[in-house]
Amino acid sequence: MVISVAGCGRKTESAPALTPALAKIRFQTDWFPEPEHGGYYQALAKGYYATEGLDVEILPGGPNAQVMSSVAVGRADLGMTNGDDVIVAVARGVPIKMVAAEMQRDAQGILFHTAHPVRDLRDLKGRTVMAGSGSTWLEVVRKKLGVEFNQVPLVGDLARFMNNPGFVQQCFVTNEPFFARQRGADVGVLLIASDTYEPYRVMFTGNEFLARHPDVVGKFVRASLRGWADYLTGDPAPGNKLLAARRNDLPPEFMAYSIKAMNEYKLVSGDPAKGEFTGQLTAARLEKQIRLLQEVGVLDKAVAVSDVATFEFIPKGQ
Amino acid sequence: MERLSVMKKLPPLLVWGLPVASGVLFVALWYGVRAVSGLQSWILPTPLEILQAAWREHTRLLAAAGHTAVGALGGFTLAAALGFVTSLVLGVSRSLRAGLYPWLLVLQMTPVIVLTPVIMLWAGPGLPGIITITWLISYFPIVANMTQGLLSSDMNHVALFRMANASRLQEMLLLRVPSAMPYYLAGLRIAATLAPIGAIFGEYMAGNASGGTGGLGFLVYSYNTQIKIPALFATALTSCLLGFMFVAAVSWLNWLVLHKWHDSFERNDH
């Protein structure tokens, strides 16, 4: 439910004390709480949302979280997921739009044993790969790079990987390598995103919500990006504390690893040399992604960039 | 029951001794396989390592079991109530039964895993979705048993009711429902074994670990991704215990309802 904050008018000084009631916002994440959602929890913990006049509830996701459908039917106001998925959903008629990037590059990677390295996606040739059925990158590797490999369905555990030195498996560069190494495996990881295929992770909202509450969306994006910057470059303790309270099975060393990986791969900040910055979405890159999705057969019809994203909330480049 | 009477003929020492012996043999075999194969603990943990993991993780396991119990109980209660009502409807008339029963079969035959995404969309993630999944899994055995029970009343009793000009409602409530109780309870007992499994499956497919702790299905994810295999086995152990608790509760209910009159309970009053 949303209580409009129209009374606030244009902000000159952020003064939350003057706001009569905070606008209630439900934000749907795509998985159980984890450091990959850290920026949002940091924004919540440090009061960045409250400063913007928002009372944000972060809804935990999980298997079959149906993030996009939840937002489309109004069970949540905003959500986050892979940018590709939003493009495909929009093409199928789901009324949602990206409003900002969460990560300039998706954190998906290939986990391998260093004895049998994967330096490039072409190295997957002839190998057995455990990967999420229907993942776009599989089609890209097959159709765009012409690389054939055996695929086995991803079940989210590392048992088979740990047992078989030739095995490779889809992972998050921010996640599985930590646990595999903890169990003594000598593993490496390759980020799937490359110049050919570089999906964003994005924040998105429903078209109806966007039309009715553009101000709220803008505030949410601003506070979330502030949270992300602070989580990754400042002290992540406040966000981690919230995460730990919601999920008591994540060791602190894992959270530290995850944050380090997000920084190392510049997942959130992007590459300044390429003119990228936190939150940025560009029409050119989305256009390129749409064309790629069509080319590999994931999209059966074209979709306009203006239908999948709005750029009005993207901060001006630093 | 025949099997029970066979058990009774065994000396009590064997009744207790045989399972213990087979258990000991199994554990010995387990240690043997581990020793011979040289497998590490994260591939094949020993029973001791599992118990140690259970102890180390006991706060998490207990909280998760509580979470799962809520989902299982919710789904089970819903199935017990709706199953009862559905059976009454099916038991009332032959045409209703003919018209509806095939659709119940269709529902039963549809794998829940296929319906999960839709359930998530309609019922919502977390507890509502988990309860719906548990209900779907445990509903049918109750309906099937109870309906069978309603149709299996002693024909002499039915004839007596009809001769006395009893109404259909009287026949249903005073004769058919009481005499169907053993069937209903048998259905509940099957459902009681299915409900915790349904809830764990629901958590695995539709859980969101809201409220700071997920159920046992969530722990499966957590321990799996973190390669805490002994803890994963400990989760299985906990799930098993939860299942036994459910069945024990229904068995107690069964005794409560039936022991005064039903043949399956021997009375000591003569």
More confident residue, A306 or B39: A306
Is residue B22 a part of any domain in this protein?
A: no
Q: Which of A1-10, A63-72, A243-252, B244-253 has the lowest mean pLDDT?
A: A1-10
Q: pTM for the whole thing?
A: 0.82
pLDDT of residue B212: 63
Chain B CB contacts of A182 below 8 Å: 226-227
Whether residues A216 and A288 share a domain: the answer is yes
Q: Tens digits of per-residue pLDDT, A276-307? A: 999 999 999 999 999 999 998 888 888 999 99
Per-residue pLDDT averaged across B50-77, rounded?
94
More confident residue, A135 or A280: A280
Is residue A126 a part of any domain in this protein?
A: yes
Pick the residue from chain B with its C-alpha nearest to A30: B208
Where does residue B52 fall: left (phi above 0), alpha (psi -120 to 50 degrees), or beta otherwise? Answer: alpha
Per-residue pLDDT averaged across A248-262, rounded?
94
pLDDT of residue B8: 60
Pick the residue from chain B with its C-alpha nearest to A161: B227
pLDDT at B1 over 70: no
CA B142 to chain A, closest CA, distance in angstroms equals 28
Per the DSSP assignment, residues forming a β-bridge with A201 are A82, A103
Residue A145 lies in domain: 108-191
Whether residues A234 and A302 share a domain: the answer is yes
Is residue A156 a part of any domain in this protein?
A: yes
Is residue B147 a part of any domain in this protein?
A: yes
More confident residue, A154 or A208: A208
Is residue B141 a part of any domain in this protein?
A: yes
Contact A162 B227 (CB under 8 A): yes
pLDDT of residue A4: 44
pLDDT of residue B211: 63
Is residue B229 a part of any domain in this protein?
A: no
Whether residues A14 and A88 share a domain: the answer is yes
pLDDT of residue B4: 53
- Of the three residues A191, A210, A241, the one that is the final residue of a domain is A191
Per-residue pLDDT averaged across B147-169, rounded?
89
Q: Tens digits of per-residue pLDDT, B228-253? A: 889 999 999 999 999 999 999 999 99
Contact B210 A59 (CB under 8 A): yes
pLDDT-derived band at B262 (thresholds 50, 70, 90) equals confident
Chain B CB contacts of A65 below 8 Å: 120, 125, 208
pLDDT-derived band at B266 (thresholds 50, 70, 90) equals low
**Residue B97 sits in a domain of what CATH number?**
1.10.3720.10
pLDDT-derived band at A82 (thresholds 50, 70, 90) equals very high
Say how many domains are in chain B: 1
Whether residues A299 and A221 share a domain: the answer is yes
Per-residue pLDDT averaged across A87-103, rounded?
94
Per-residue pLDDT averaged across A194-214, rounded?
94
Is residue A315 a part of any domain in this protein?
A: no
pLDDT of residue B169: 86
Whether residues A303 and A203 share a domain: the answer is yes
pLDDT-derived band at B204 (thresholds 50, 70, 90) equals confident
Is residue A316 a part of any domain in this protein?
A: no
Q: Kindly state whether B112 is in contact with chain A, defined as any CB-CB distance less than 8 angstroms.
A: no
**% chain B with pLDDT above 70:** 94
Is residue A303 a part of any domain in this protein?
A: yes
Per-residue pLDDT averaged across A164-189, rounded?
92
Is residue B265 a part of any domain in this protein?
A: no
Is residue A175 a part of any domain in this protein?
A: yes
pLDDT at B26 over 60: yes
Is residue B71 a part of any domain in this protein?
A: yes
Is residue A313 a part of any domain in this protein?
A: no
pLDDT of residue A20: 59
SS (H, E, C) A207-240: HHHHHHCHHHHHHHHHHHHHHHHHHHHCCCHHHH
Whether residues A113 and A98 share a domain: the answer is no
Per-residue pLDDT averaged across B60-64, rounded?
93
pLDDT at B137 over 80: yes
Say how many domains are in chain A: 2
Contact A183 B42 (CB under 8 A): yes
Is residue B47 a part of any domain in this protein?
A: no
pLDDT of residue A3: 46
Whether residues A87 and A224 share a domain: the answer is yes
Which residues are CB-neighbours of B21 under 8 A, at least 6 positions away?
none
pLDDT of residue B267: 53
pLDDT at A64 over 70: yes
pLDDT of residue B148: 92
pLDDT at A46 over 80: yes
Per-residue pLDDT averaged across B33-42, rounded?
85
SS (H, E, C) A131-165: ECCCCHHHHHHHHHCCCCCEEEECCCCCHHHHHCC
Q: Kindly state whether B122 is in contact with chain A, defined as any CB-CB distance less than 8 angstroms.
A: no
Whether residues A21 and A169 share a domain: the answer is no
**Interface residue of B225, B228, B235 to substitute, partner A, most A CBs within 10 Å:** B225
Whether residues A46 and A150 share a domain: the answer is no
pLDDT of residue A266: 95
**Residue A256 sits in a domain of what CATH number?**
3.40.190.10
Whether residues A126 and A275 share a domain: the answer is no
Residue B122 lies in domain: 65-214+242-258
For chain B, the distance separating the N- and C-terminal CA atoms, rounded to the nearest angstrom, is: 21
Check residue B172 and report its DSSP letter. Answer: I
Q: CA–CA separation, A162 vs A308, rounded Å?
A: 40
Per-residue pLDDT averaged across B121-147, rounded?
91
- Of the three residues A167, A191, A215, the one that is the final residue of a domain is A191
pLDDT-derived band at B57 (thresholds 50, 70, 90) equals very high
Q: Kindly state whether B229 is in contact with chain A, defined as any CB-CB distance less than 8 angstroms.
A: yes
Q: Which of A29-38, A146-155, B134-143 has the lowest mean pLDDT?
A: A146-155
Contact A32 B221 (CB under 8 A): yes
- Of the three residues A191, A210, A244, the one that is the final residue of a domain is A191
Mean pLDDT of chain B: 88
Is residue A1 a part of any domain in this protein?
A: no
pLDDT of residue A12: 45
Whether residues A43 and A159 share a domain: the answer is no
Contact A159 B43 (CB under 8 A): yes
Per-residue pLDDT averaged across A78-92, rounded?
93
Whether residues A88 and A204 share a domain: the answer is yes
Is residue B118 a part of any domain in this protein?
A: yes
Contact B227 A159 (CB under 8 A): yes
